[in-house]
Structure 1
Amino acid sequence: MLAFAVAAVPTAVLLVLIEAGWEPLRALDAGAAVRLNAAVRDHPTVLAVVRLLSDHVWDPVTMRLLVAATVGWLLVRRAWRLALWAGLTETAAGLIGLLVKITVARVRPALPEPVAHAPGFSFPSGHAMTAMTSCAVLLLVLLPVVPRRARPAAWMLAALVVLGTGLTRIALGVHWVSDVLGGWLLGLALVASTAWAFEAWRRETGLPTPALPEGLEPELAEAGAE
């Protein structure tokens, strides 16, 4: 539950600061949006790459399809409990993100020379929240079948996707920095809470609680070796 508290409390504080119009946060949002947007606007090749990554490679549909494919793979391996956890966590992320967007109803950035537009409200960034949730789910599911020497690379790849997703949304001018931070924190809080529930489920059935680098269900590696 520590990870949940670490993520949930700053999310609440961030919302309070946004609603209060805290000047340092407003300056950070505005400054980052203008600078990153100008950087990609003046370089067509960079802009094309940013659009490709944001709209097709790291978009929520792609990330959810990856998780859905992983759920299917878990079902084939008869890892019913883990498949249920992954599917429910990913679904909850989409629903919670939408609910918070409607509740907060924050307007998206309006830049002088926009290079992209997006519908709906701004907080939290759905791309950022989905990237955080999906990468965390994939890591916690797949780490048992990833060779130990390759696990640092898996963590680095997940971090690249999460960070890259947030930066591309800011650079395209469709989200503020605080939107991205909110998405990351909400996604982390959700995965932390559902992972804690999954571990409690394991303890109730007499199974050990694995360390984070082992994933949520280390037995998955043994099942694949049979």
Structure 2
Amino acid sequence: MVSGARWTGAELRLLDWVHDRTSPPVVSVARVVTVLGETPMVWAVVGASCLARADRRVPRLLTLAAAVRRVTAELVSRERPPERLWRDSWSGPSFPSRHTTLGTLGLALAAANVLPRPAAVTAAVGLSRIVLGVHWPSDILGGWLFAAAALASTRRVRGCCRDRS
């Protein structure tokens, strides 16, 4: 773990830099992009994917990962960046970013049938959270890493299930 005070200072300088250089049109685009990581949107994409391939394990995996992310967020209980940087209002713990975690995980699980480039979409969602000033950069990185770990676990479980059948 990185020392909180120094790391937060570097992150705050980065957020200030982004905030000071972000134009209103970029903020508008970030507001649209961030919707792709919202829970209802993620579930819609996952639902469409499950219907396309009749896979009922994906919603269970996403539900489990969402629950673990929520518990992690409550245990860490990290505060969000200063409100002066916010481009919208948000609530709840900051780490790991829910939009980034669930967006990355849900879109990656559904990607084979629904999205041609999930990595680009999930990168855009994560960056939108920084542009909107509602997450520390390490919240976004934590969300991506959390999702990557969940995906690796999912692939391992799916591989085990396939081998037994």
- Residue 137 of structure 1: aligned partner: 109
In structure 2, do the counterparts of structure 1 residues 128 and 113 end up closer, same or farther at CA, with 3 Å as the change threshold?
closer
Q: TM-score, normalised by structure 1?
A: 0.67
Runs of 4+ deviating beyond 4 Å:
none
CA contact under 8 A between 1:133 and 1:188: conserved in structure 2? yes
Checking the alignment, whether the CA contact within 8 Å between 2:80 and 2:134 is kept in structure 1 is yes
**Partner Cα separation in structure 1 for residue 78 and residue 63 of structure 2:** 23
1:178-193 matched pairs, under 5 angstroms:
178-193=138-153
C-alpha deviation, 1:129, in angstroms:
0.3
- Post-superposition Cα deviations, 1:66-118, rounded to whole Å, max 9, x if no partner, equal 0012112333xxxxxxx132111211221111111100000000053532221
Aligned equivalent of 1:36:
18
Of 45, 51, 61, which aligns to 1:72? 51
Give CA deviations for 1:152-193 in whole Å, capped at 9, x if unaligned: x93xx2111111111110111110000001111111101110
Residues 116-164 of structure 1, C-alpha deviations (whole Å, 9 max, x = no match): 221111000001101210122023x539xxxxxxxxx93xx21111111
C-alpha contact (below 8 Å) 1:108/1:122 kept by paired residues? yes
Conservation of the 8 A alpha-carbon contact between 1:28 and 1:177: no
- Secondary structure of the residue aligned to 2:58 is helix
**1:196, distance to aligned residue in structure 2 (A):** 0.4
- Identical positions, percent: 26
The answer for unaligned runs of 5 or more in structure 2 is none
**Root-mean-square deviation over aligned CA pairs:** 2.0
TM superposition score normalised by structure 2: 0.90
Conserved 8 A contact 1:58-1:161: no
| Aligned length in residues | 165
Structure 2 SS opposite 1:112:
helix
